[in-house]
C-alpha cells in the first residue's frame, strides 16, 4: 500500500496568512490521483481538490493544489476563520489511502 505522510502535524497561523500543507507518498501516485479534504470538528470531510490540482465544485479559489509524483502541496492563499480545520490528503492511484492529517489552528 502507498503510505502518505503529511507535514507539519499542526500549523499555527492567523487569519489572512498563507498556509502551505505538504503530502508525501511512499511511491509515485499513478496519474497524480491525489485529493485533499477539509474536516471541521463534528463534520464529515469535504472534498477540496482532486487529481492533485483541480478544485472540486463550489470550492473557493483561495484553495489550490499542486505537485506530482510523490510530493504534493495544498495552499490556502489567505486564511479565513472557517478554514481552521484538519486537512487530509488521499491517494487513489493504487487502491486508496489517506494521510494522517494536518491541523491548521490559530
Binding site for other proteins (CB under 8 A): 1, 33, 35, 37, 44-47, 50-51, 56-57, 88, 90, 92, 95-101
Q: Which is nearer to other proteins, 12 or 96 (CB)?
A: 96
Q: Which is nearer to other proteins, 13 or 56 (CB)?
A: 56
CB of 6 to other proteins, least distance (A): 9
DSSP 42-92: TS--EEEEETTTEEPTT--TTEEEEEETTEEEEEESS--GGG-SEEEEEE-
Q: Which is nearer to other proteins, 11 or 35 (CB)?
A: 35
CB of 33 to other proteins, least distance (A): 6
Of 70, 77, 78, give the one whose Cα is nearest residue 99.
70
Amino acid at each position: 500500500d502507498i503510505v502518505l505522510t503529511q507535514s507539519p502535524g499542526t500549523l499555527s497561523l492567523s487569519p489572512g496568512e498563507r498556509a502551505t500543507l505538504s503530502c508525501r507518498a511512499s511511491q509515485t501516485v499513478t496519474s497524480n490521483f491525489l485529493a485533499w479534504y477539509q474536516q471541521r470538528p463534528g463534520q464529515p470531510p469535504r472534498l477540496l481538490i482532486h487529481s492533485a490540482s483541480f478544485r472540486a465544485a463550489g470550492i473557493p479559489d483561495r484553495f489550490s493544489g499542486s505537485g506530482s509524483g510523490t510530493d504534493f502541496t495544498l495552499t490556502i492563499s489567505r486564511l479565513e476563520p472557517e478554514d481552521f480545520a484538519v486537512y487530509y490528503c488521499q491517494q487513489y492511484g493504487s487502491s486508496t489511502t489517506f494521510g494522517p492529517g494536518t491541523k491548521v489552528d490559530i
